Chain A
Amino acid sequence: MAEMSARFPSDVNLPQDPVPFREVRVHAPAEVVYDLKKVQEILPKVLGRLGCPTCCSGFDIRFLVERDLVVDPRSLDVRGIDPIA
């Protein structure tokens, strides 16, 4: 079983099919626990978002908040982050 942690280029515009990603072989740290509990924890929180979004006639920052969690807004590099609270 080959293990790799793939880091893709951070800024690929579509449509450029196939997306020219590269895979970089990185060994994951040993202390990382791979189980589904972390994923399991966030799923019920989705329910509150299934409905009609609340009244908002201004700027919705949800996209920017998520971007800032995943992508460094200055370098556009992916950065390590804490699991979703």
Chain B
Amino acid sequence: MLLPDLGVGINYAPGLEPALEACGELVSVVEIEPQTMWYPTRLASEPFRVDQAAVARVRELPQAKIVHGVGLPCGGSLPPDPGHLRAFAQSVHDLEAPWASEHLSFNVAKGSQGVFETGFMLPPLQTARGVGTASASIRRLSSALDVPFAVETGVNYLRPRPGDLPDGEFIARVVERADCGILLDLHNVWANARNGRQRLSHFLAEIPLDRVWEIHLAGGMEHEGYWLDAHSGAVPNELLEVTADLIPRLPNLHALIFEMFPPFLARFGPRAVASEVEKLLELWALRTKKNGPVRSRRRAKPVWQNADRAVASSTWESSLGTLAIGRPPGSPLEQELAQDPGLTVIQMLVNEFRAGTIVSMLRLTSRFLFMVLGESGFRRLLAEFAQEQPPHLFGSTEADAFRAYLEQRQVPIPHLLEVLAFERAADDVLLTGESRTVLFRCEPERLLTGLLEGEVRIVQAEEDHTVHLRQVNGTIELSARRTQT
């Protein structure tokens, strides 16, 4: 199996266009996160639809493309959603990616109330049983693809548990059993080491380096004693030095990718991304060996087999998932995990991610809530919502759930439901192409533009108003008119 040398690149998700533009010809490969360009349709016959305009823009990029999944991790015991898997495979095919990758994590679990999403990529059970679960999950995913598959080494904010396989040993066993490549996210592994997990040098000594096809580098941030894999800025110098030492030892390295989380781009700046790419180009030049076929490393001895503490992967996923979404601990495993200070970090990140998704999706409604309730009131409302509803993977479903919650909660803010209905209608128009009409009992122009400008402007109207939304060439056209009551 020979893979092409693609060189240095950056990740791509909507919002990162200025970074791509600033990098220009510095990058020879773009790593596409396909799920960011599709959305659930609320239709059983076609669960996901691809934003064809966005995909067309990506296809036109002159760089090579590789595909990196961000919604279908392969470290857990539950089978992938068939519709999601089909769409992922289609994206890999459409973008002509020479290989694809996903995270060695899980983001769904089955609890007493059924299957739920965890709102975060969580670390899999790291025992001999976990090796079996993860390798089976990788094989399920990779068998649906027509290109080679690599699994990404994940971040893990939990402390090591007695009896777990060491981080590197776990990865080695999984990839050898699944016979796949490694996407070595060095920032994740470096963060894990800083946060008290295995030392990076030990990790690298345990994994089969000839399976490393791709490296991720990124920057992060400190939070209450933890280093977060935030993709927020420059690669730390110490990590650059580690990477420089490592690259000559990787015979099958084909790509080196700088990762950025789009909301940080405005602060970091597109030019700063280009500067990071220049550093990666210097690292790429340190490669010393040509490609070779992937060789299987000698299988590690099963010395940890007996240390498996009989926890099933499904139990691990249910327990950690339940805690991650803020539910109280029940079982002995949950009681044990609840003592881990890293769990508080995970819960905070889940909540902040959900809050970020809601304000991004429901911008006008969120502004209304900010202005009326203040930050603490809005956060309290979000916390109540999070207690009632598990997270949803896609932004549109999370927004639907929050809308339903606000309607049921009957928050007594005049005209809030009208703004909410307006934003729902806008989503519908974008998703279906059909027109929608929304009734306002105040002047919609003043209310809606006021929200954009940071003021609540309510003009009591003697008659009702309607706002008509229709799609014209991919954009929404609005028109308002008065109606007699």
Contact = CB atoms under 8 A, between A and B. Distances in A.
Interface of A: 1-15, 17-19, 21, 23, 28, 32, 34-40, 42-44, 46-63, 65-67, 69-71, 73, 76, 78-84
Interface stretch (B20-28, B238-246, B296-304, B348-356): B348-356
A52 B32 CA distance: 13
Given A12-B373, A36-B479, A52 B363 contact: no
Contacts of B35: 51-52
16 contacts: A3-B460, A4-B460, A8-B373, A10-B371, A10-B374, A11-B377, A12-B374, A13-B376, A34-B449, A36-B449, A38-B449, A48-B37, A50-B394, A53-B353, A60-B261, A76-B374
A64 to B, nearest CB: 8
B329 interface: no
A57 to B, nearest CB: 4
Interface string B452-481: 111111111110000100000011111110
Given A11-B375, A42-B452, A70-B454, 16 more contacts: A8-B372, A9-B374, A34-B446, A36-B467, A40-B475, A42-B363, A52-B36, A52-B71, A53-B356, A54-B70, A55-B68, A62-B355, A65-B266, A70-B367, A78-B455, A80-B453
B20 to A, nearest CB: 14
B474 A44 contact: yes
B352 A38 contact: no
A57 B460 CA distance: 45
The 6 closest A-B pairs by CB, nearest first: A58-B230, A62-B356, A48-B14, A11-B374, A52-B35, A54-B13
B103 interface: yes
A50 to B, nearest CB: 4
B353 A60 contact: yes
Contacts of A55: 11, 33, 68, 70, 103, 121, 231, 259, 261
A24 B441 CA distance: 19
B478 A40 contact: yes
Given A61-B263, A70-B371, A40 B394 contact: no
Contact of B475 (A3, A9, A43, A60): A43
B221 A59 contact: yes
Interface residues of B, number: 98
Given A50-B430, A59-B230, A76-B374, A7 B455 contact: yes
Interface in B388-406: 393-396
A49 B230 CA distance: 19
B384 interface: yes
A67 B257 CA distance: 31
B395 A58 contact: no
Interface string B235-256: 0000000000000000000000
B366 interface: yes
Interface of B: 11, 13-15, 33, 35-39, 51, 54, 68, 70-71, 103, 120-121, 154-155, 188, 220-221, 223, 228-232, 259, 261-264, 266, 349, 352-353, 355-361, 363-364, 366-367, 370-377, 380-381, 384, 393-396, 410-413, 426-427, 430-431, 443-446, 448-450, 452-462, 467, 474-480
Given A5-B450, A36-B449, A59 B38 contact: no
B361 A50 contact: yes
Contacts of A43: 426, 430, 475-476, 478
A21 B427 contact: no
Contacts of A62: 263, 355-357, 359-360
A58 B411 CA distance: 31
Nearest to B38: A51
Chain A interface SS verdict (over half): loop
A32 B449 CA distance: 10
A53 B232 CA distance: 15
A70 to B, nearest CB: 4
B476 A14 contact: no
A70 B456 CA distance: 11
Contacts of B394: 50-52
A60 B374 contact: no
Given A19-B372, A42-B452, A51-B51, A57 B154 contact: yes
Contacts of A6: 456-458
A70 B54 CA distance: 30
A7 to B, nearest CB: 7
A19 B380 CA distance: 13
Contacts of A21: 372, 413
A1 B14 contact: no
B349 A60 contact: yes
A23 B459 CA distance: 12
Contact of A49 (B374, B395, B412, B413): B395
B176 to A, nearest CB: 25
Contacts of A14: 373, 377, 380-381, 384, 411
Contacts of B103: 55
A67 B370 contact: yes
Nearest to A61: B263
